[in-house]
Amino acid sequence: MSAGLWQQSWRRLRRNRPALAGASLLLLMIVLALLTPWIVPFGYEQQNLHLGATPPSPEHWLGTDVLGRDMLTRILYGGRLSLTVGFIATALALIIGVSYGAVAGYLGGVVDALMMRVVDILYALPIMIFIILLMVLFGRSLLLLFLAIGAVEWMTMARIVRAQVQSLRRQEFVEAAVAIGLPPGRIIAQHIIPNTLGPVIIYATLTIPSVMLLEAFLSFLGLGVQPPQSSWGLLISQGVETMEEYPWLLIYPGIALASTLLALNFLGDGLRDALDPKSAED
Amino acid sequence: MLRFILGRLLQAIPVLLVVITLTFFLVHSVPGGPFDADRAVSPAVMKALNSYYRLDLPILQQYLGYLGDLARGDLGPSFKYPGRGVGEMIAAGLPATAELGFYALMVALVIGLSSGVIAGLRPNSAQDYVPMGLAMIGICMPAFLLGPLLVLVFGIGLEWVPVSGWGGMPGDKVLPSLTLGAGYAAYIARLSRGGMLEVLSQDYMRTARAKGLAPWQVVIKHGLRGGLIPVVAFLGPAFAGLLTGSFVVETLFQIPGLGRFYVEAAFNRDYTMIMGSTILFAGAIIVFNLAADVLASLLDPRVHQQSGGGQ
């Protein structure tokens, strides 16, 4: 994609109000998550058992939980963790998927057939069940969570990139690069991958919310992030236990999760419309 | 057509074998035996236990033994509940889970299809924006958040329906089915809207209108068939999602189904139960994917001709 096309896409994106609103909310969330340890007045494990669960007050803006911990602090720390999982696992999927897809698509022939057959078989496996199995068997560590989620999400990315690369390979600028004797690794890295960025960006933006949902789902079942750490899924599951007496313990983390997912989805849809005008016509 | 189905069935066998093998060796690679955490038992009892569960044999022999049992439909005894078979426990949970899944799928199809078709008929109008806005919210509202909120409003606040249980009180199946189905209704609404938009611009739709069919006949007879294709293709992955979703919903609403048993088995480290359920879930997902593909190829002959089947 040339600079002119990027500019056109940017102009289309700027006109898309839901996408811009999503991007702004997301940016705010990221800044808050980065600054959390310096802006919150309480520690995320700091308890005040005399206080117990209290509704929102001037001192505790979003109230406190059953152990007297400040909810705003816990939600901010939870967001930090949920966003980290979302971005790192997506980045992992991106690196594996893009390089795998680019190599398969560029080399073609037997190597390509073999590599894509592996993806087909992995695709047919019920991956969610295996992630749960992994978390059950090998403890509930964050690192495993990143690896497990990243290991799942790369496959679609590999397929998208491979299809792109196959069509790019036959274009003149790639033939020119081959003709002047550049090694394949450099052609893939410098000429092929930059040209697949459009669909990759779109898919990555839509992968982040699905990864965050997966983390929240596992934490909700008790298989993900463990207390006293905090993540949105964990906060929601703790909120459910006491929702009859203290509904705000469920509602605030719920709003945080749902609004972030909404922002990411709006941004993803907007990017798709902006970078891939064909799909925006209808 | 028959060749297509047979071919897909044959492809499913190695996948299932991979699933069984992977599950078996994953479960058996966990450090420590299943009885280590329990109170100390005498060596003789331990030996008897190990031999009852075949843990004293080399791993390869255990694996082949398990495969042999599986082929005869025997999933082995439960680690946690001595005297109960895994097959028996699964059979106890299956009816509730199947019923919940069926209702959720109905919720998803009825709400999703009708709102998707309504939105697709008049794109970029209020008739489009309202259902699509709701669908967006549905996608961002996971079952473990939607469920408790529904309970809070309709169970605890308004007291219209019971807050938990399954088949014990009238109306206790409403909230679980809605909770599980809502997210898929949202996806189906978006997919069927897209499908409708694509179909409505085709030439044969203009022909159908030109030959004087009433507008609703055009939509139902010609539009829906094409608009349904992306929805049917989504049903395979949706089934896998419904299954894992049932873990959450059954735990939330205390439904005695497979999903809750699986989560309990996970916490109890009931390995044989985990293995049995994993294999069953995986098999069900593979079979359902196959069924969805067959259905898609019935609706659209192009699908299986492209994938190399053909008549």
- The string of DSSP letters for B83-128 reads T-BHHHHHHHHHHHHHHHHHHHHHHHHHHHHHHHHHHHHSTTSHHH
A residues 129-158 near B, CB within 8 Å? Answer: 129-130, 132-134, 136-138
Q: CB–CB of A282 and B18 under 8 A?
A: no
DSSP three-state, residue B11: helix
Rounded Cα distance, A275 and B4, in Å = 37
pLDDT tens profile B229-261: 778 878 877 887 888 888 889 988 888 888 888
Choose among A64, A34, A96: nearest CA to A239: A64
pLDDT tens profile A51-105: 776 777 777 677 777 777 788 888 888 888 889 888 888 998 889 998 898 889 8
- CB burial string A231-243: b at 16+ within 10 A, e below: bbbbbbbbbbeeb
Q: SS in 3 state form for A73-120? A: HHHHHHHHHHHHHHHHHHHHHHHHHHHHHHHHHHHCHHHHHHHHHHHH
Residue of chain B whose Cα is closest to the Cα of A214? B142
pTM of the entire predicted model: 0.80
Q: CB–CB of A258 and B198 under 8 A?
A: no
Q: B8 to chain A nearest CA, in Å?
A: 12
Instruction: Tell me the pLDDT band of B104, cut-offs 50, 70 and 90.
Output: very high
Instruction: Tell me the pLDDT band of B103, cut-offs 50, 70 and 90.
Output: very high
Q: CB–CB of B148 and A243 under 8 A?
A: yes
Residue identified by tokens 């998927």 is: A97
Choose among A259, A272, A281, A271: nearest CA to A32: A259
Q: Which parts of B122-200 fold into alpha helices (H)? A: 126-139, 143-150, 174-200
Average pLDDT, rounded, for chain B: 80
Q: What angle do CA B26, B29, B35 make, to 5 degrees?
A: 110
Alpha carbon separation from A42 to A38, A60, A68, A229, B290 (Å, rounded): 10, 10, 11, 14, 53
Do residues B88 and B79 lie in contact, with contact meaning Cβ atoms separated by under 8 Å? Answer: no
Supply A132's token pair.
Answer: 């749960």
* Burial grade of B198 (CB within 10 A; 0-12, 13-18, 19 or more): middle
Rounded Cα distance, B84 and B142, in Å = 35
Q: CB–CB of B144 and A237 under 8 A?
A: yes
User: Which member of A133, A213, A216 has the closest CB to residue B26?
Assistant: A133
CB pairs under 8 A between A and B: 107
Choose among B203, B229, B206, B232: nearest CA to B218: B206
Rounded Cα distance, A154 and A150, in Å = 6
DSSP three-state, residue B77: strand
Rounded Cα distance, B20 and B276, in Å = 9
pLDDT tens profile B158-212: 878 787 777 777 778 888 998 999 988 998 888 888 888 877 777 777 787 788 7
Do residues A260 and A253 lie in contact, with contact meaning Cβ atoms separated by under 8 Å? Answer: no
Residue of chain B whose Cα is closest to the Cα of A129? B278
pLDDT tens profile A140-165: 677 787 777 777 788 888 888 888 88
ipTM score here?
Answer: 0.78
With beta carbons under 8 A apart, name residues in chain B contacting A121. 14-15, 18
Choose among B281, B183, B290, B189: nearest CA to B233: B290
pLDDT number for residue A239:
86
Residue of chain B whose Cα is closest to the Cα of A262? B140
pLDDT number for residue A281:
42
DSSP codes joined into one string, chain A: --HHHHHHHHHHHHT-HHHHHHHHHHHHHHHHHHHHHHH-SS-TT---TTT-SB---SSSTT-B-TT--BHHHHHHHHHHHHHHHHHHHHHHHHHHHHHHHHHHHHH-HHHHHHHHHHHHHHHHS-HHHHHHHHHHHT---HHHHHHHHHHHHHHHHHHHHHHHHHHHHTSHHHHHHHHTT--HHHIIIIIIGGGGHHHHHHHHHHHHHHHHHHHHHHHHHTSSS-TTS--HHHHHHHHHHTTTT-THHHHHHHHHHHHHHHHHHHHHHHHHHHH-HHHH--
Q: A193 to chain B nearest CA, in Å?
A: 28
Using the Cβ of A165 and the Cβ atoms of chain B, whether some distance falls under 8 Å is answered with no
With beta carbons under 8 A apart, name residues in chain A contacting B285. 126, 129
User: Which member of A121, A136, A265 has the closest CB to residue B266?
Assistant: A136
| Amino acid, res. B284 | A
